[in-house]
Structure 1
Amino acid sequence: MRLLTATYLLLLTLNTSAHAATGVLGDWITPTQSVVRLYPCGSDVCAKIVKVSPTSPETTDLKNPDAGQHNRPLCGLDVGMGFQRIDANHLDGGHLYDPQSGRTYKGTITAEGDDLKLHGYIGISLLGRTEIWHRVSTVVACK
């Protein structure tokens, strides 16, 4: 019985450590219920939509200012690019694309446990807006 308890505690500790060690990387659910994956792309960190919200009125990039991109599917769309790792929990220097408005913002990203804070801005950071996403524990795929 002690061996089982010790093994369970060890596995729980390893699972928690592995979970915490992922920092900003992984799958995150947005306030609109889409899921975005942050992943390494070369020396940067990028973000792409891996599941579009079931309540989304669009499934393509209709708000993009480039009319030639309007038929581009939202699922699989890169919405974060060029982020540099400051450390496992902090990214800076990248750009965030908002498919709901068709606008691109400078951005910073910070992981705090199972919360991800994305701060997007135009010009200076003080005039920006922060949005909080939550970690998704299961891997999802485009549908």
Structure 2
Amino acid sequence: MHTRTLGAALLGAASLALAALPAGAQSGDSHAADGLWLSADQGAIIEFKECSDSPGALCGQIVWDKDAGTSDDACGVRIAKLKKWDGQAWREGWVHDPRSKKNYKGVLRAQGERLNLRAYIGTEILGETEEMTRTAARPNMCPQTVGQGGKA
């Protein structure tokens, strides 16, 4: 498939998906991402809330990590700081991969019990998305995250 055709197909599919959303779901709530989210591999819980060091921005910090206490421990690491809510997604900031220790541009969209965090270099369409699930579970939280801003 040619690049132009692929781009048109992706754009068409995105338009259809957006049109299929119920009224009101297309213009979301900037606080829909607030709360605790279980990573796709169920290895971490990330808390998203307003950044303590940047009012009006959204930050995500690991508050539980299955690898706590090991050399792979990511407890307390800030994995996202997104500065602008555009009515549908949080943008203009960064997403951090604590395993590779790399930063990327990021976009975050939350709706209901699902949160999609997209990390990319260059253009959003070339990125990767991790889908997280809202959780109320509060296992033993990372001790260094209690009342602190985290490691990153």
Counterpart of 2:136 in structure 1: which amino acid?
S
Equivalenced residue count is 110
Alignment of 1:45-64 (within 5 A): 45-54=58-67, 58-60=71-73
Structure 2 gaps of 5+ residues are 1-28, 144-152
8 Å contact kept, 2:36–2:45 = yes
Give, in angstroms, the shift of residue 108 of structure 1: 0.4
Residues of 2 paired with 1:126 and 1:108: CA distance? 11
Instruction: Work out whether residues 68 and 142 of structure 2, in 8 Å CA contact, stay in contact via their aligned partners in 1.
Output: no
Q: Which residue of 1 aligns with 2:134?
A: 135
Tell me which amino acid in the other structure corresponds to 1:27: L
Q: Does 2:99 correspond to 1:105?
A: no
Give TM-score, length-normalised by structure 2. 0.63
Are the counterparts in 1 of residues 89 and 109 from structure 2 also a CA contact under 8 Å? Answer: yes
| Residues 59 and 128 of structure 1, relative CA distance in 2, 3 Å threshold | same
Equivalent residue letter for 1:77:
V
In 2, Cα distance between equivalents of 1:131 and 1:114: 14
Q: Determine the structure 1 residue equivalent to 2:121.
A: 122
Task: Output the amino acid matched with 1:94.
Answer: G
Q: Deviations over 1:79-115 (max 9, x none)?
A: 111332234x621112100011111110100012100
Match of 2:50 in 1: 40
1:22 deviates by: 4.5
What residue is the counterpart of 1:67 in the other structure? none
In structure 2, the CA distance between the partners of 1:21 and 1:44, relative to structure 1 (3 Å rule), is: closer
Matches within 5 A, 1:9-20: none
Identical residues among aligned pairs (%): 26
Report if aligned partners of 1:28, 1:133 keep a CA contact under 8 Å in 2: yes
> Is 2:96–2:102's contact at 8 Å kept on the other side of the alignment?
yes
Aligned to 2:35: 26
Larger Rg: 1
Give me the whole-angstrom Cα distance separating, in 2, the residues matched to 1:51 and 1:83: 24
Shift of 1:117: 0.5
Cα gap change, 1:55 to 1:48, in 2 (>3 Å) = closer
Which has more strand, going by share of residues? Answer: 1
